[in-house]
Every structure is written in structure tokens, then in C-alpha cells.
Amino acid sequence: MRRLILIAVALSVMAFLLAACGEDKIVTVEVEKEVIKEVQVPGETIVVEKEVIIEIEVPGETVVVEKVVIKEVEVPGETVVVEKVVIKEVEVPGETIVVEKEIVVEKIVEVPGETIVVEKEIVVEKVVEVTKPLSGQLAQEAARYGGTLRQISRGRAASLDRIFDTNVGGSIPARHIYEGIFSWDMTLGGSPALADKWTITPDGLTYIIELRQGVTFHDGRLMTSTDVIASLNRWHTANAGGKLVNDFLDGGIETGLTAVDDNTIQFKFAEPFGELFNALSGEPRSAYIYTEKAASFPTSEDFGEELAIGTGAYQLDVWERGNKIILARYEDYVRRDDPPNNYAGGKKAYLDRIEFVDVPATETKLALLRTGAIDVLPTFPLDFYDSFKDNPTIVLMPDFGFIPTMDFDTTQAPSSNIEIRRAILAAVDVVSIMNAVAPRELWILCSSRYVCGTQWESSAGAQGLYNQANMPLAQQMLTDSGYADETFVFWAPTELDILRQTGQVIGPMLEEIGFNLEWPSMDWATITARFNEGVWHAHNDYWGVGYRGTPMRDSVLAGNMDGEPFNQEPGPSLQTAFFKAVTVQERQEIVDDINRFFWEFLPSISFGQIQLYQAVLSDVRDVQVAAGLNYTSAWLDR
């Protein structure tokens, strides 16, 4: 008689994990594995005896988990032995990780009259709870994990392909999904992200960069130098810094950028290029590392939502277009060991999810923040600053701002006369101009060509020239300049609040100095359309980190800024020297020379710097703000 004998065992475990991604936390995970075994003995009674004991040894105490002992199956007239092997691997380094692995070997054993042998191995990975209390820093660290942070989007994201699209709505989500070899730190300098270590040859021509080991994309695939080179080949055609890198590389990027091995790349330059790390860090059209497949798309084509796969601490979970983008913690993220430093440095993904919610109406945004329905409002009208600063549930976090300016056409008389420009500089009262734009708490004095607070801030050359507010001196200087009452055309747009407000101070100032002023009412679109007509002498503007964050992206310094007709040596030569300088000290000295250059030749006059603020609920901790918001180490104290 044929008998098939198997044994039925069902295991269901509710377990907990203490530590994921190398960080200490507690999350609940349900693990269930069912192994079905049957005993088919027609007409006979089957008795299965099972004993279950649950235990795991943790230093200093015993925590109950599960231990299964299967004894025998008794079939009348014979005893059949069924073999079950349980192997458990438990790691408890410090008190941080407990993992159990179970291997079940299932056999059909010999039965009198017939032998059937089948064997299979089942591996069950289980996570279990350690109930031993954590102490000190470990307990504080574990308590930070969990929760969902909600931010009002800065605009609707059209794409998460940051080479194809630079719309601001996709910028902050993308910074959490993707990483570059180097990324912006808190001073907007280039610091290592995916790069592990590097060497530079003494002649400054060759950079060998080793990538972090074991980094995976969100689809689980290992990142290699093939992905890096494909991504940088796409980037260099779309990004201003990438184009400079290509120009300096020996033979261009096609031959100057190569893979040494799967984890190492090499840049070979024809002449020294000291701005490589900053070039790889800037926005827009950032040098993020995408999968090779995504990087194969032309820059004019969106690689699509399905390829929005990075190596960052958070991955795309849900995208409801026109409604919200939801990111989830990437559990297999490989982090750096150094402290968080904006989008460089070590990142700790404490949050379970980050939601970016599209809310177009300003009043609705403000109401959602005040009621606590959202956690972060990234921008808001300056009129609401006073009400926010007095609200104990809201923290206002300063960000890099922008610099209002007065820019000159240095090719058309009378503004081509440097003495006339210096006369205007003598009259400028920065406090009056900036107070017309924002409350005193929202702006700072800044005599730097490049945004104050960044690594290239400099006050060189401004002493005695910045914020003179000396109208009698200005009037005398205008007389001494040879000015002959020619018409002086000043453009200030009427529909943009900041430019309209600065214009309302600058226009009367020019008239008081003694200019025969023509000050037409125009909107910004009309002004920009007429920039190259040669019919204006000054207009007001404002500049942020995109153009005035580094000499690398300073088109006015280079002498090729559309609408700003200024091309004066040694400006372009200083920019080239900045690119070639290898050390930070050398570049800082050149930046000081650049700042002196602008104060000497005055293609524009900088006023102060308006500080942008992000409104954040007071129980959101460790948000980093530097040209945008960073939640890669943020947590919720609630």
C-alpha cells in the first residue's frame, strides 16, 4: 500500500526590527511563512506531537522568540521519523540588531513497502523584538524614526528628469531621490556625496575618483562607473558647468572622462581645472547619477516616471500629477559616515514618508500651515512675516536670498562714463532702498559680488564705496564728470513688487543727483525684449545663487551676458584663472580680485541681500536650509 507521509507545520510570527539601514529604530514588520506537510494514512489515526518554545539570548537577559521542536509521528504499528532542522542566526551588536534566520529542511521519509525521498530547503528570514530598554543616545536615536512630513510644493512638477526639466516644483523631491558624485553643502560648495575618496596629480590635470562601495539604485541594482559616465555624458551638454568641464578636458568628455574600473572614474584635463567639484554640484540641470538606461535619453526627452530611480535616501513612491508627490524611505540606502551637510555628507532617513502637496491658492497654503495640516511652507508673501514670527508653533528658517541691483549699459553715453557711475554710487542709500522692499529683519547688508553666506562671499574693494549715502558728494561728482544734461533713461518694471519698490527709491534719487531722467512705465517682459536696443542707461534687477553664487556661472564677468553689455578686462581673465586654480585658497584670492574688479568698474551697483525664509512647524527638527529645503536628516518631535 502506498503511503505518502508529510508533516504540517504553520508558523506565523509578529516581529519587530531594531535597526535598519545601519541606524537604530523600531518598526513593526509582520513575517509569515507557512510550510504545509500532510500525513495520508487511509483509515488510520495520525498523531502529531509538537513542542514550541520561543527564546533568544540577549546579553544580560532572555527575550522570548521561537524555537520549534518536532518529535515523531506515530502511525499505529510503526513509527515514522520526520526531520526538521532549525538554524537561528542572531546578531546583537551592542543592543542594536536582532535578526533570525530559519532554515527548514523538509523530507518525505522511507515508508515500508515504498521509498520516496524529496528534499527542499526553505529559508525564512524573521525579525524579532528586543525588549531590553535602550539607553542614552541609542534611545534618542530610535525615537526619531517614523512619521510623514508634508510640504507645500513650490509648483507643480512636470518631470523628475532634472536634465530635461528645471521647473522648481520637481527640484526638492529630486534632491532626495538622486545623488551626485559631489553635491551642494551648506555653503553651496561642492562636497562629496557618491564620491568616497579621490586623488589629484601634482600638475592638476588628472582627477581619480573612487565611488562609494555597495551603493544601489532604488530598483536594487548596483551602481557602477558605467552609470556615472553615462549620466555625466548627458549632463555636460545641458549644464553650464558641464560645458566648461568638457572644454577643459583633454579631447572633451568623450575621451577625457573614463572608467578605471567598476568603482572608479578618471577625469583627464588638457589644462588645470580647479572647479570640477563645484561644477558637479551646481543647479539647475544637476549632475545627478541616473541609471544607464535613463541616461541614454537625449536631453530633449523626458525619461519618464518609471525611470525616476536614484541612489538617494528616499525613493519615489506615489506621484499623483497635479496633486502630490510622495517619497518613501529607501531601506537599503548606503550612507556616508560623516555628519549631514546639506545634500552632501551623511544622510539619515528618519522619516517614513515625505509628501509634496500641490496647493495653488496662497490663502489656502497659509491656512494649512497655521492649522498644522502641513509641516512646511517653502515660500510666502513677505507681508505675512510679522504674523508668522509671533506664532510659537512656526519657525522661520533663513535661506540664501537674492541681491537687488542697479545695472548699467556701459556702452552708451552717458552711463558709459565711469565717473558718472561713481557719482550714482556715492548717492546710494542701501538702507532706504532695502527698507522699501522688506522689513529690516528680512535683509542684510552685503557688498559681495556673490551671494553672502556662500563660500565665495567677499567684501574686498568695497571699503569706503559701499552704502555711502552722500548726496552732496554725488552731486559734486556728477558736475565734475562732465555730464551735460543728456537724457538718462532708467527702466524699472511696474508689476514685479521688489523691482517696482526699489525703482520708487532709485528714480527720485537720480533726479536729486541732477540727471535729466526719463523713467517710462514698463513691465518686465517689455524691458527684457528691449535689452539689446541700446536705448537705456540703467535698469534695476535682482540676482540669486543661480547667477551670483559662483564665478563659474557669472556671465557678466565673462562678458557674454545677454542684455548686460559689459565686457571689460581683466574680468574674463579672472574667470579663467579661477577655473584653473587648484586650491581653495588660490580661488578665494581670485574671488577677492573679482570683487575689487566689480567695485572699480561698476557695471552694476549691489544694494543689500533679501533673506528668503521657509516657514516650518516648530516640532519638525533638523531641517537643513541652503538654496532650498533638505529633509535627509529631519525628524518629527511629536
pLDDT of residue 166: 83
Q: Considering the chain, what is the average pLDDT of its residues?
A: 83
pLDDT of residue 446: 96
Name residue 528's amino acid. Answer: T
Report in angstroms the alpha-carbon separations of 430 from 116, 401, 538, 609: 93, 16, 17, 10
pLDDT of residue 124: 52
pLDDT of residue 53: 40
Q: What is the pLDDT of residues 469-514, one digit of tens each?
A: 999 999 999 999 999 999 999 999 988 788 899 999 999 999 999 9
pLDDT of residue 369: 96
Of 24-28, 179-183, 561-565, which has the strongest mean pLDDT?
A: 179-183
pLDDT of residue 122: 52
Comparison of pLDDT for 381 and 494, the residue scoring more: 494
Comparison of pLDDT for 285 and 635, the residue scoring more: 635
Nearest C-alpha neighbor of 539 from the set 409, 376, 358: 409
What is the CA angle 217-290-274, rounded to 5? 115
Q: What are phi and psi of 367, to 5 degrees?
A: -65, -40
Beta bridge partners of 23: 20
Asked whether this chain's domains 148-393+618-636 and 400-611 adopt the same fold, the reply is: no
| Percentage of residues of the chain with pLDDT beyond 90 | 59
**Domain extent listing, the chain:** 4-136, 148-393+618-636, 400-611
Tell me how far apart the terminal alpha carbons of the chain are, to the nearest angstrom: 67
pLDDT of residue 400: 86
Q: What are phi and psi of 282, to 5 degrees?
A: -80, 165
Nearest C-alpha neighbor of 63 from the set 72, 54, 71: 54
Question: What class is the 400-611 domain?
Answer: alpha beta
Q: What is the pLDDT of residues 2-59, one digit of tens each?
A: 333 333 333 332 333 333 333 333 333 333 333 434 444 444 444 444 443 434 444 4
pLDDT of residue 240: 78
Across 66-75, 127-136, 222-231, 369-378, least confident range:
66-75
pLDDT range class, residue 137, cuts 50, 70, 90: confident
Residues 303-322: what's their mean pLDDT? 97
Q: Which CATH superfamily is domain 148-393+618-636 in?
A: Periplasmic binding protein-like II (3.40.190.10)
Residues 521-540: what's their mean pLDDT? 90
Predicted confidence (pLDDT) at residue 103 exceeds the cutoff of 80: no
Residues 526-537: what's their mean pLDDT? 89
- Is residue 237 left, alpha or beta, with left meaning phi > 0 and alpha meaning psi from -120 to 50? alpha
Nearest C-alpha neighbor of 612 from the set 286, 385, 429: 385
Across 11-25, 303-317, 324-338, least confident range:
11-25
Comparison of pLDDT for 60 and 422, the residue scoring more: 422
Comparison of pLDDT for 281 and 69, the residue scoring more: 281
pLDDT of residue 113: 58
pLDDT of residue 126: 52
- DSSP E strand boundaries for 371-501: 376-377, 394-408, 443-445, 487-493
Distance CA 312, CA 97 (A): 23
